[in-house]
Structure 1
Amino acid sequence: RLLGQFTLQSDTAAALSFAEMRVERFPDSWSAHEFLGDVSAAMGDTDQARTHYRHSLDLKPGNEQVLEKLESLDTRGGSLPHRPIIDPGPSGTPSQE
């Protein structure tokens, strides 16, 4: 099983590729869309981030974490606070090594 823990400072292409693969493989996973939203936001693609955060909310309405990320994009001028991106896995729980 692929584990997804990337710091976007070091390998944005790998993070984006992995996030896109997860959405393709698990299109109905709220966490996959949230993860792709995180990667998109970290890369500065706020339109794509919003799209995937909204899709994540469609799949899991009321998700406070995703709602906060959307609000942060709006109030911070399109950026989220920097932190390593950790892939939560298709079920929404962090992947374990």
Structure 2
Amino acid sequence: MTNERIDRELWTSFASLIRSYGAAHGLNSRHQAVVEVGNDLILLRVGTRWLRFTPSEMIEDNNRTVPFHLNHDGTATVGEVTEEMDLTAERLAREMMQSE
């Protein structure tokens, strides 16, 4: 499998995880997570807050930008933290739902 295909599969998987965890954490919230997905953009919106992912960075609604990368070993790096991709998606969705 080429690196481009791996990157595309990881991107699609991460978007799916963000969507699933956003929905799960929204069950006990007055807000719902809305996820928009494009070839090089994932947008997670909850109420007035949002997170925007590109293949190289995560931008928060306060315009704070941190490095972001999906790694070929199934991990994700946000800033200086690297963890399993599903744990990253769950944590970020939970934080968004709790903060709104």
Provide TM-score, normalisation by structure 2.
Answer: 0.35
Higher Rg of the two aligned structures:
2
Name the structure where strand makes up a greater proportion of residues. 2
Provide TM-score, normalisation by structure 1.
Answer: 0.36
Name the structure where helix makes up a greater proportion of residues. 1
* Structure ranking higher on relative contact order (CA contacts 8 Å, 6+ apart): 1
